[in-house]
A and B are shown apart, each in its own frame.
Chain A
Amino acid sequence: MTAFLSSINYNAWIVPALLLLPVFGAVGLWAHALLTAKAPADRRWREVRILAFAFFLAEALLSLGLWWSIDPAAAGWQAAVDLPWIPQWGVRFSVGLDGIAMMLVLLTTLMMPLAVLGSWTSIRTKPHAYYVMLLFLTVGMLGVFVALDLVLFYVMWEIMLVPMYLIIGVWGGERRLYAAIKFFIYTMIGSLLMLVAILYLGSEASRVAGAPNFSYDFILSNVRLDPTTTLWLFGAFALAFAVKVPMFPFHTWLPDAHVEAPTAGSVILAAIMLKMGTFGFIRFALPLFPSAAMNPAVRSLIIALAVIGIVYGALVAMVQPDFKKLVAYSSVSHLGFVMLGIFSLTVESMQGALMVNINHGVSTGALFLLVGMLYERRHTRMIEDYGGIAKVVPIFATILTIVSLSSIGVPGTNGFIGEFLVLVGSYKTQPVATVISATAVIFAAAYLLWSLQRIIYNKLSKPENATIRDLNWREIGLLVPLLIAIVWMGVYPKPVLEKTEAAARRLVTYVEASANRVPVSASNTAR
């Protein structure tokens, strides 16, 4: 495989290709809209979804080569491309991957076709616009993971907002406008400060270089800031990312956005967009400002918020009457684990955090898909409207059970590996926070098993539930890859862990070393 990929020079063109293909897709869909303008709406809808799916599938297949072509142990950026973009401002189209980014790119490209299949029958109004939005969203999300120029990163970061805003606002539920605006403004406020910080970094860089420069690598190795400035800049970046994660107490946009978004929107939000926040901490906030991130006060604050998020998210999830909201709050809890793992700064905890990142994408994505399938049949998300449907829809019930168990973190599923590694690694540097976080294993079981019982077990007391039809082949087919991922990463996580090991180790060593070199306050904090 590797030989074949290098024979076609895969690494040289794959990243731009992945960014361009969705754009072509959008153009193709637009052309289809124009050409079939007079055709019956039903036919147009049937055709455009196939067309869109074909593009997403092509994107996914195209990206698969990364698994072999990227050398995770290599020190430099892989599949890197560096072209001038806006020379006057020193902005370059500079992209590249390491093991961490590669896993997230794959998560994105592989989840997108599933999300499209998940909204196969539920989105019938303005289907062209809908799929074009999904395609643009893909560009933005992939761009964030591959960008190596701070301005490029910021542009991609903001590009994501618009399609998601429209997806929620146009194709969402009853309170879609409130949710969409809340999502937009929340995220926007966070990222505006980041823009200021990026501009400041750029001006510092141009002072050193003598010419405008926003290159990640250049800033990383050449820009030296005084401690106070570092703190401020870290704060600006951290706020943008914390909203996106979302960290307690900046999480309240998430339940609304999730509940109101259509299925594909919820899946993408949970599986991919929340990862932007944690990825931002890993790629930017930590390496660029190690002394600020490892400042005892800052670090304790973030760890504390992470732990609060873990427990608080689980407790609030437990009492939600709306299943989608329950899953949304469970995300707050899971992402708390990622933050704990990142800021505990050990190789094990970092690897665990990356693993939870992927797992959460798979398991929570699957949960939202399942909720969507149920909603399409019964048009309610309220847990109390169900009960006893395991007898009516056994396939659905079986898959929901497996996915819930993975979300609970039962050993043998992917969920366990991530949580376990985070806890084992974090205990070394943050024992108290870790032990408190470990109580989440109890609460997670409580909220998911309780809702599981009220949905699929108990007596089938509502006659309207007796006629729900079980999953069809399309739905089973789109869930099976996720189930395979759940078991595979639970039983044999080594291949995935290997991909990110070197990058995680480099990050931990680098941040530890840099934080010690530029002590901000009284003492170093890495130990």
Chain B
Amino acid sequence: MNPAMIPEGAHPLAATVARLVWLLPLLPLLGFLINGTLAMLGVAKIGPADPSANGGHGHGEVPGHADEHAHDDHGHPPRHKFAKIVSLVGPGVLVAAFALAVAIFAAMRGVEMEHPYLLTLFSWMPVGDLKLDATILLDPLSMTMVMVVTGVGMLIHVFSVGYMQDDPGYPRYFAYLNLFVFFMLLLVLGGSYPLLFVGWEGVGLCSYLLIGFWFSEKANADAGKKAFIMNRIGDFGFLVAMLLMFANFGTLDILGVAEQAAELPMGGVIATTIALFLFLGCTGKSAQIPLYTWLPDAMAGPTPVSALIHAATMVTAGVYLVARASGIFSMAPVAQLTVALVGAATAFFAATIGLKQWDIKKVLAYSTVSQLGYMFVAVGVGAYVAGIFHLVTHAFFKALLFLGSGSVIYVLHAAYHKTHNHDDAQDMRNMGGLRQYMPITFSLMWIATLAIAGIPLFSGFFSKDEILTSVFARISHSTLADASLLGMPGGTVLMIVYGLAVASALMTAIYMARMMLYTFHGPNRTGEGERPHLKEAPWVMTGPLVVLGALTAFGGWLNVPALLGAIGPVGGLEHFLEPVVGEAALRTTLGVAPHLPHSTELMLVGAAIFIAVAGIAFAVWRLKPAALVPRKDAPESTGIDRVLENKYFVDEGYAAAFVNPTVNASRTVLWKGFDAGIIDGLFVNGSALLARAFGWMGSQLQTGQVGTYAWVLLIGVITLLGAFTFR
């Protein structure tokens, strides 16, 4: 079986609508070009022909030029002059892309998808032995991702029409958002690692641009830059992994690499190194320890961006990458254990921070980091379907949570705006009791909360339970159990992973219930003047929430476990993804599907349900929303609360350990010391000085005094004579 050998036209999909798959990324790219042009047209003022003539001294009076597009907190800016067409094009290209994706999906269901469908667009980098083409790879895994990206992306685009309506940068926002979808689709459809990498870095770029969307605040610009650089550290790993692949396999095509990886010895150095470097890339993109710190800061961007990029799609790219490279990972148990352990540790660590955050978006951000950790636990232990399943359900419920919080922030912001109050619209201490003002958002967010906490029959329950069961099943009888990590037997590592995952589940239930209690329950703390302005957000925003609510509630149906076969088709996603990841998954479980006795499985499920319920109950029992005071009256926290609120001071630690020393050493040692001091000062100018010194000495000899010349002549003669005499 050699999938790369199937000629393009011979694939059953070639005769269907799937041959239009290249349109998928092209549509949002078109949207970017149109919206980008409109954005430029909206702000551009061509300068004078002679730039130095008018503003020559920089003090010329050009009234009102700078303020025109400044964000005015108090006025009511008119909608952007291109708002109508942007509102049409921005979400429109996503609707079209989603429709096409659905059609391709339907076509894919109609054929036997044993081999992936490859569509070569053009020859990209033909150099030496490297024959890189721009090739699209369409298989069930990329199809799943395409559905999530275009579907959830479409909903978030629609929501943005309402959320961003008054922003002066409206077209620029949609241009960036469209560009993001383009790169994301490139990432999931790329048929070679370099092409995937183009999407990988491209989404990072859009993330940078969107986090810093309101760039006039230094904090926002800082956050964007931080995200990009942290991601680049990860990308370094991805890059090195590609170097290793090419050096060892002579190809960078995804299928070619998978084929060659299967020939490697199990647990060999090559597979392990490649897998670990790839995973370094994942820790950057998907915000895992040690590179997770950018994601909470990324909340500086508009909230729909947080929903789309920093929850539903981009940050899950790392999980996708591990599943995509399952052929390599499954040959490297040590790397797999590392992935699982890092994932579990991140899940646990981020959850503890989430317990004490006051900013509603920060709670969700740490929750995202934690849930991504869960996904890595799944793909780490070789349960690729479980990981992708959780990726999908998480996209539903976390997008819902973010957009819901976006509605809340939008409403609070509008209320503060009307009363000219400058309080924080994201701090939960300024919320409370919102359920009576925003009942739809309130109920939908509770659905999402129950889903993420793992309450039965909501989508998150199924995916999370599958992850926990998968870990447990691999504690014995798997390549992982036979391997060891840092001297610890694989089984023990997996037990630790399982323990951390269960503990995180408990904390997840607690912090999510806390967020809901503080936001929607108890008395309202927003303020007397603002209260009359609190109401549900417009339908263009609430509508997408309702759709996501339905997906959150019923998304578990995608992959129903055998245990609950009564409620729907068993293992839908499992069967769908089997041609892509089935072989690698079986490799980890030594050729047989992992199977737990019914009683064990029931016990595990029971425990998981108990933990979810206990967490929520604990939160309801212990937390008293009524006792909270608005943020401006709140006292400084102390002790462990302070440590958690400040995220264990990791950012400060990184700054002190890496950033500042590098910058300082570069400045004082390399630049001022070595470059200016030694090379220039000592050698370059030094030799010039030496030449001048000799010149000066020479000039001193030429005094014009005949007497001096005579003396020098005499000394010279004596010296010479002496030298000859005593030779």
Contacts and interface: CB of A to CB of B under 8 A. Distances in A.
Interface of A: 121-122, 182, 185-186, 249, 252-253, 312, 315-316, 318-320, 346-348, 351-352, 373, 376-379, 388, 390-395, 398, 405, 410-412, 416-417, 420-421, 423-425, 427-428, 431, 434-435, 438-439, 441-442, 445-446, 449-450, 453, 456-460, 464-476, 492-494, 497-498, 501, 505
Given A377-B58, A458-B216, A471 B66 contact: no
Nearest to A392: B66
A460 B197 CA distance: 35
B716 interface: no
B49 A474 contact: yes
Most chain B CB within 10 A, of A320, A377, A393, A457, is at A457
Contact of B55 (A312, A398, A458, A467): A467
Contact of A445 (B59, B228, B662, B667): B228
A127 to B, nearest CB: 14
Contact of B666 (A319, A416, A458, A492): A319
B60 interface: yes
B623 to A, nearest CB: 39
A442 B128 contact: no
B62 A467 contact: yes
A261 B197 CA distance: 38
Interface stretch (B110-118, B119-127, B567-575): B119-127
B40 A458 contact: no
B103 interface: no
Nearest to B220: A457
B240 A469 contact: no
Contact of A315 (B122, B194, B233, B670): B670
A494 B69 CA distance: 42
A446 B222 CA distance: 12
Contacts of B25: none
25 contacts: A348-B127, A391-B216, A395-B40, A395-B44, A412-B202, A420-B125, A431-B247, A434-B243, A435-B243, A438-B243, A441-B236, A449-B208, A453-B212, A453-B221, A458-B216, A459-B216, A467-B58, A467-B60, A469-B51, A470-B46, A472-B49, A494-B122, A494-B123, A494-B125, A497-B126
Given A252-B680, A435-B243, A469-B47, 19 more contacts: A122-B52, A316-B666, A346-B128, A379-B57, A379-B58, A391-B70, A411-B198, A411-B201, A424-B242, A438-B240, A442-B229, A457-B218, A458-B221, A467-B65, A467-B66, A468-B58, A475-B47, A494-B124, A497-B127
Contacts of A351: 127-128
A425 B201 CA distance: 21
Nearest to A389: B66
A501 B205 CA distance: 31
A438 B236 contact: yes
B422 interface: no
B225 A405 contact: no
B45 A424 contact: no
Interface string B664-703: 0111001100010001100010001000000000000000
B607 interface: no
Contacts of B235: 441
Contacts of B58: 377-379, 464-465, 467-468
Most chain A CB within 10 A, of B222, B232, B247, is at B232
B727 to A, nearest CB: 34
B44 A470 contact: yes
Contacts of A453: 212, 215, 221-222, 225
B59 A467 contact: yes
A391 B52 contact: no
A498 B124 CA distance: 11
Interface in B408-450: none
Closest 6 CB pairs of A and B: A347-B128, A469-B47, A411-B198, A466-B66, A319-B667, A457-B221
A139 to B, nearest CB: 29
B670 A316 contact: yes
B636 interface: no
B128 A425 contact: yes
Nearest to B69: A391
A121 B201 CA distance: 38
Contacts of B633: none
Most chain A CB within 10 A, of B62, B197, B670, is at B670
Instruction: Give the interface residue-count category, chain B.
Output: 35 or more
Contacts of A449: 208, 225, 228-229
Contacts of B126: 494, 497-498, 501
B246 interface: yes
A456 B243 CA distance: 35
B128 to A, nearest CB: 3
A210 to B, nearest CB: 41
Contacts of A450: 225
Most chain A CB within 10 A, of B50, B58, B62, B680, is at B58
A312 B669 CA distance: 11
B221 A473 contact: no
B125 A417 contact: yes
Contacts of A320: 671
B65 to A, nearest CB: 7
B43 interface: yes
A405 B53 CA distance: 31
B683 to A, nearest CB: 8
A441 B232 contact: yes
Nearest to A420: B194
A388 B220 CA distance: 12
Nearest to A466: B66
B528 interface: no
A359 to B, nearest CB: 14
A493 B125 contact: yes
Contacts of A412: 198, 201-202
A428 B52 CA distance: 51
Nearest to A124: B52
Interface string B573-591: 0000000000000000000
A497 B666 contact: no
B51 A373 contact: yes
Interface string B130-149: 10000000000000000000
A453 B43 CA distance: 20
B216 A388 contact: yes
A457 B246 contact: no
A116 B221 CA distance: 35
Contacts of A352: 127
A312 B674 CA distance: 10
A472 B46 CA distance: 5
B127 A445 contact: no
A421 B52 CA distance: 42
Contacts of B45: 469-470
B714 interface: no
A308 to B, nearest CB: 10
A347 B675 contact: no
A473 B46 contact: yes
B684 A186 contact: yes
A446 B229 contact: yes
Contacts of A347: 127-129
A442 B228 CA distance: 9
Interface in B515-543: none
A304 to B, nearest CB: 16
Nearest to A459: B216
Interface string B236-279: 10011011101100000000000000000000000000000000
A459 B49 CA distance: 28
Contacts of A121: 50-53
A470 B40 contact: no
B704 interface: no
A182 B125 contact: no
Given A347-B127, A405-B205, A411-B197, A376 B666 contact: no
Contacts of B242: 424
Nearest to A374: B51
A442 B198 contact: no
A161 to B, nearest CB: 17
Contacts of B218: 457-459
